[in-house]
Amino acid sequence: MKRPPRRWLLWGALLLLVVVLLGVLVFLAAEYEESRDQEALERDASALAGDIRNGLVRNVQTLQALHSVAPTADSWQDPAAEVLDQHRELVRLEWRDAGLRLVAERDSSYVSGLYGQMSRAQALPDVRQACESAQRVSGPSFSPSYFWPMSSGLGMELMEMCLPVVRTGAAEGYLVATYALPGLLSELTNKALLRNRGLAFTEVDGTRLALYSAVTGNRLQVASALLDLPGHTLVLRLESPRRVAGLFPNVLTAVVGALSLALLAVLVLLGRDMRRRQRAETEVAEALAFRKAMENSLVTGLRARDMNGRVTYVNPAFCQMVGFSASELIGSGLPAPWWPPELVNEYQQRQAVRLAGQVLPREGYESVFQRKDGTRFPVLIIEAPLIDAQGTQTGFMSAILDLSEQRRVEELNRASQERLQATARLATVGEMASLLSHELNQPLAAIASYASGSLNLLEDPDAPPDLLRQAMQRVSEQAERAGRVIKSVADFVRRREQVREAVAPAALLDAILPLLGLQAKKLDIRVETRIASGCPAVLCDRTMVEQVLLNLARNGMQAMPDGDPPLASGLRSIQIHIAPRRPQSADGEPLRKTWVEFAVTDHGKGLSDEVREKLFTPFFTTKAEGMGLGLSLCRTVIEQHGGALTFEPAQPRGTVFRFTLPAADSLSSRP
C-alpha cells in the first residue's frame, strides 16, 4: 500500500484538529450560555431579595410613624386600617403593652376569616419570641415563619414582626405586624423580573414555604438568595426554564471553521511580513543610530516642546549648554529651569504669543539663558513648528546657539575699536598741534619782527608817523592771519559747523540707541524709552545734544554695576522719558514759550551728599579712569541752548537727571 505524501498527512492532521476544535467550541459555547443565564438568574434573585428587604425597611419606617400620629388606642384604629390598605403584605396590626397584653388590633380587609379556624392566642409564642428579640436589639425583630390554617381548608405561611414603641423616651409597648409570606412575594418584588419564572420562599433544606409563581419542565435553572432579617432568615428561590441552544454556537462554529481554514494563509503572510518587518526594523535602527551620532556631534542645542510648553526632547549639546541632564529637562514645563528669575514674566508672555499661533520669524531671536550654576549667557533661538504625519502641529523644535564666544569676540573688537579711535584722536591732536605750530610759525615771526620795528620807530623821534602806522597795520594783518589759521585747523579737525536745527526727540533717541544697546547688553540692563504724544521738535545742535544724552545714559548704566541686586520687579533698567513742559509765570499763568524735558533715570545706589556737592565741578570724578569733565561739559552745552541740567533722587532708589531744551515751534512763533 502506497503511503500518502507527508503534505497530505499534515493537512489531515490540521483538518482533524479543526473538527476537534469545533466540537470543543460548541460545548464551550453552550456552557458559556448556560453559565451566563445562571449568573443572570442569580443576579435577579439577589435583586428580588433586595427589593423585599428594602420594602420591609420602608414598612418599619411607616409603622414607626403610626404611633406618632395616633397616640391613643381610639385614634390608632383608622391610621392602622389605612396602613393595612396600602400594604397588602400585612394581614394584621396589633398594639400590645409591655406585658404583651393587647391594647388595640386591626385586621386587613383583603384577608377574611384568618383567625376563624384557630385562635390568635396560638401564635403568641412566636409573637413573644419576636418581641423579646426586639427588646434586646432595640429595633424591629422577626419571628420564624409558621403555617396558619384557615377556615376554608387552606392555610397561609405567616411571620411576625415586633417593633418596640417609644414615645418621649419612654417605652409604651410593642407594635406587632403579621406578614403573609405570599404577600411579600407578590407585593414587594419587581414583576418585570418574574415573567416566565417561578418564585417561592423555602427552608434551608428546600422545603417550600410560600409560592408566588411556578414553572414546569425537566430542565430548570435554580438560583437562591438569602433574605437575612433581624431574628430570622428566609431563602428566596427563583426558577427559570433552560433555554434551548440558540443560533450563537452554530454561527460561531462556522466562523471559527472559516478562520481556521484561513489560518494557514495568514501564517504564510505573517511569515513574509515578519521577514519584511525585521528588515525594516534593522534599517530603522541603523538610521536611528546614524541620527543619534549626528545629534551627539552637534554643537547646536536642539530642544522640542509640545503645545503646552513641556519639553519632549533635548540633545546632549543643549544639556551641556544649560548644565541640566536630559532626565531633569524632559517633561519640565513653564517656567523653564533655564530662564533667569527676573525675566520669567517676559518669557512667559513671549511663550503665550507663540502658543496663540503668532510664531516668531524663522531668522530667530536673541535671548538670555541661565545655567544650573546661575551664570547667564546669551543665545540665538531659531524655532520651527513640529508637524506630524497628519499635518497637525504638535509643538515647536528649537535650535539654540550659544553666543558667549561671539559676544566675547565682539567685545574684543569693540575694545580694539575704542583703542583705535583713541589712537586716532591722539593722532589728530598731534596733527592739529603740528599744523598749528607749522602754520603759526610764520605769522608769529612776522608779528615779532613788526613789533620790534615799531619799537625802534618809537625810539627815533625823527621817524615818520606813516611808517609807524604801516608797521602796526602789518602786525594786525598777521594777527588776523593767525586767527584764520587756528579756525581752519579746528574746522578741519571737527569737520562740521556749529549750527542749530529743529530735531524730533525720536531722532535723537534713534541716533544713540545703537550705542546704548551694546553697553546695555554687556551689563544686562534694559533700556526703556518713552516719548509723550504730541511732543514737539527741539531747536538744538544735534551732535552736542546727542552726546549729552549718551553721556547721561552711560553714567546711569555705570551706576548699576554687575551683581547689583535688582528691584522688587526683578528688572535692571535705564529709562529715558521725553515730554513737553510749559512753565508757569509768578501769577500761575502758563508762559508762551514751550520747553521739552528729557529725563534719564537709573536705579543704581544713588549719590552721596559729598558727591552731590561736587558733581558738576570740573576734573571731579568717582570713576577710576574718568577725567571729571563729562557732566561739566554737559551742563555747559545745555546752558548754551538756554536750558538747565538738574538731578534728583529716584524712587525707590537711583538718580534722575533732567534737562530742558526749547521747542522749535515756540521759538518760530515768537513775534
Query: What CATH number is attached to the domain comprising 47?
Result: 3.30.450.20
Using the CB atoms, write b or e for 561-575: b if 16+ within 10 Å. eeeeeeeeeeebbbb
Burial (CB count <10 Å: 0-12, 13-18, 19+), residue 193:
middle
Q: Tell me how far apart the alpha carbons of residues 660 and 646 are, in angstroms, rounded to a whole number.
A: 9
What's the CATH number where 489 sits?
1.10.287
Task: Measure Cα distances from 191 to 135, 187, 194 in Å.
Answer: 35, 9, 5
CB atoms within 10 A of CB 22: 17
- State the CATH number of the domain containing residue 634: 3.30.565.10
DSSP 18: H
pLDDT of residue 140: 92
In a domain, 28, yes or no: no
Domain stops at, among 336, 371, 402: 402
Torsion, Cα 613 618 624 626, to 10 degrees, reads 130
Strand 90-96 to 102-107 pairing = antiparallel
CA 567 – CA 422 distance, rounded (Å): 36
Q: Give the Cα separation of 660 and 89 in Å (integer).
A: 104
Query: Are residues 131 and 92 both part of a single domain?
Result: yes
* Burial (0-12, 13-18, 19+ Cβ within 10 Å), 37: middle
Cα–Cα dist 403/447, whole Å: 63
Q: Single out the residue of 362, 327, 329, 368 nearest to residue 347, CA to CA.
A: 368
In a domain, 197, yes or no: yes
Answer whether 334's CB lies under 8 Å from 312's CB: no
Segments of the chain scoring below 50 in pLDDT: 1-2, 247, 428, 431, 434-435, 438-439, 442, 491-493, 495-496, 668-671
DSSP for residue 143 = P
Look at residue 32 and tell me if it is in a domain: no
In this structure, the answer to whether residues 61 and 81 fall within a common structural domain is yes
Would residue 520 count as lying in a domain? yes
Exposed, middle or buried, 501 (CB in 10 Å: 0-12/13-18/19+)?
Answer: exposed
Identify whether residues 489 and 540 lie together within a single domain: no
The range of the structural domain enclosing residue 462 comes to 408-494
Let me know whether 169 and 225 are in one domain: yes
Residue 13: inside a domain: no
Three-class secondary structure of residue 615 per DSSP: coil
Q: What is the pTM of this model?
A: 0.39
Residues 119 and 136 in one domain: yes
In a domain, 18, yes or no: no
Within a domain: residue 3? no
Q: How far apart are CA 393 and CA 609, in angstroms?
A: 61
Residue 239 CA to residue 202 CA, distance in Å, equals 12
Instruction: With CA atoms as reference, report the closest residue to 52 among 181, 184, 180.
Output: 184
Q: How far is CA 238 from CA 101, 144, 203, in A?
A: 40, 21, 13
Indicate if the alpha-carbon torsion angle 482, 483, 486, 492 is positive or negative: negative
Instruction: Spell out the alpha helix ranges (H) of 298-371.
Output: 316-322, 326-329, 344-355
Rounded to 5 degrees, what are φ and ψ at 52? -65, -45
How many angstroms separate the Cα of 508 from the Cα of each of 2, 92, 147, 549, 598?
112, 108, 114, 8, 11
3 state DSSP class of 241: strand
Q: Are 638 and 645 in contact (CB under 8 A)?
A: yes
Whole-number Cα distances in Å, 569 to 7, 338, 345, 346: 86, 19, 10, 12
Does a structural domain hold residue 6? no
User: Of 460, 494, 528, at which residue does a domain stop?
Assistant: 494
Number of domains making up the chain: 4
Beta bridge partners of 599: 577, 658
Q: Are 549 and 609 in contact, with CB atoms under 8 Å apart?
A: no
From the centroid of its chain, how far is CA 548?
47
**Element housing 427 (H / E):** helix 404-459
Looking at the structure, do residues 515 and 472 belong to the same domain, yes or no? no
Angle between helices 465-494 and 404-459 (to 10 degrees): 180
Cell of 246: 440558540
- Domain identity same for 206 and 313: no
384 and 449 housed in the same domain: no
Residues 83 and 158 in one domain: yes
Does residue 617 share a domain with residue 529?
yes
- As a dihedral over the C-alpha atoms of residue 186, residue 192, residue 196, residue 199, rounded to 10 degrees, the angle is -30
3-state secondary structure 245-301: CCHHHHHHHHHHHHHHHHHHHHHHHHHHHHHHHHHHHHHHHHHHHHHHHHHHHCCCE
Q: Which of 494, 509, 531 is the last residue of a domain?
A: 494
567 close to 651: Cβ distance less than 8 angstroms: no
176 in the same domain as 71: yes
602: CB partners within 8 A, 6+ apart: 555, 556, 557, 559, 560, 574, 650, 654, 655
* Dihedral, 458, 463, 465, 469 alpha carbons, nearest 10: -60
SS3 per residue for 573-595: EEEEEEEEECCECCCCCECCCCE
Residues whose CB falls within 8 Å of the CB of residue 203, separated by 6 or more in sequence, listed in order: 209, 235
How far is residue 302's CA from residue 474's CA, in Å, rounded to a whole number?
81
232-241 vs 198-202, strand pairing mode: antiparallel
Q: Tell me: do 202 and 74 sit in the same domain.
A: yes
- The sign of the torsion formed by the CA atoms of 266, 269, 270, 271 equals positive
